[in-house]
Amino acid sequence: MLRNLSGNIIRAALLAVAAIHISMSGVQAQDRPKLRVLLVTGGCCHNYTFQTMSLINGTRRFAEIDWTIAMQGGYGTTGKAPFYSRENWGEGFDLVIHNECFANTNDEEYVKNITEVHKAGLPAIVIHCAMHTYRAADFDDWRQFLGVTSRHHEHQSRYPTRVLKPDHPTMQGFPADWVSPKDELYVIEKVWPNTTPLVLAKSEKDDREHPVFWVSDYGKARVFGTTFGHTDETFSDKVFLDTLGRAMLWVTEKKP
Tens of pLDDT along 80-136? 999 999 999 999 999 999 999 999 899 999 999 999 999 999 999 999 999 999 999
What are the structural domain ranges in the chain? 2-251
Domain 2-251: top CATH class:
alpha beta
Q: Is 190 helix (H, G, I), strand (E, B) or coil?
A: strand
Give the chain's mean pLDDT: 89
- 63 Rama class: left (phi>0) / alpha (psi -120 to 50) / beta: beta
Q: Which phi and psi (to 5°) does residue 186 adopt?
A: -80, 135
CA dihedral 232, 236, 242, 247 (to 10 degrees): 20
Confidence band (pLDDT; 50, 70, 90) for 23? Answer: very low
Q: List Cβ neighbours of 116 (8 Å cut-off, separation of 6 or more).
A: none
* CB 134 within 8 Å of CB 111: yes
pTM of the full structure: 0.89
144: nearest Cα among 111, 95, 186: 111
Spatial strand order of the sheet with 124-127 comes to 2-4, 64-71, 34-43, 95-101, 124-127, 221-226, 209-218, 195-202, 161-163
Q: How do residues 165-203 score in pLDDT, each as one tens digit?
A: 999 999 999 999 999 999 999 999 999 999 999 999 999
**Is the pLDDT assigned to residue 20 strictly greater than 60?**
no
Q: Which helix (H) or strand (E) holds 14?
A: helix 11-28
* Residues shown for the chain: 256
